Copies of this chain bind each other. A is one copy, B any other.
């Protein structure tokens, strides 16, 4: 019999510690599928940010390096500069990449480091228990915005994919979601493309994945899925904001 869907090979252990309905699991799967399909198991090297995804190495059978919170893209720069033959990707949450790691993220993007970023935007600090993130929506109640996020005090939700797309060094900047089958298949394609572009030395490839965090949103998985569709996507539109067609030579 032929598999319609089977566990990706590189996913050595699918017993995720994630909460029920958490999209981190889905994203792990998609990354694993991309690695399988491009045969990158040996060459892939994960640089893992601190957040609920920090145990990625327990699940994916790829060489893995833990980066200090927020510094994934500085760490990845160090790796890729000395091991350009490895396919380097970071796996980072929105707190990690867009808050504390903003400088490292913008500068790695601007330098056009030839690495791939999997950016899990769930509008919250998952691992630490539901504090406000730079991506938290206006009005959203979190443990540190108990009266709802208010732009005068807390600022606006940051749209990273759009902001990074303005930088010359960026080869691909896209936002995807995994909340419906259609979006999920799109996400799969884009993630694969990001890795392909890295293989082609195109430069910095960035995929933002809108994700749910039922636990810290205080919602059932179903409600969380709906929230992605009905509240997140309208504010964080899906799409490819930049795609370089030719390698980065001037």
Contact = CB atoms under 8 A, between A and B. Distances in A.
A106 B166 CA distance: 14
Contacts of A248: 151-152
Contacts of A163: 163, 166-167
B106 A106 contact: yes
A1 interface: no
Contact of A154 (B103, B111, B152): B111
A102 interface: yes
Range, interface on chain A: 20 to 34
A131 interface: no
A134 B156 contact: no
A138 interface: yes
A31 B243 CA distance: 41
A156 B250 CA distance: 11
Interface string A148-183: 000111111010001100111100000000000000
29 contacts: A99-B103, A99-B107, A102-B103, A102-B107, A106-B106, A106-B158, A107-B134, A107-B155, A110-B134, A110-B155, A110-B156, A110-B158, A111-B151, A111-B153, A111-B155, A111-B156, A112-B151, A112-B152, A112-B155, A138-B250, A151-B248, A151-B250, A152-B248, A156-B167, A156-B169, A158-B167, A163-B163, A163-B166, A166-B166
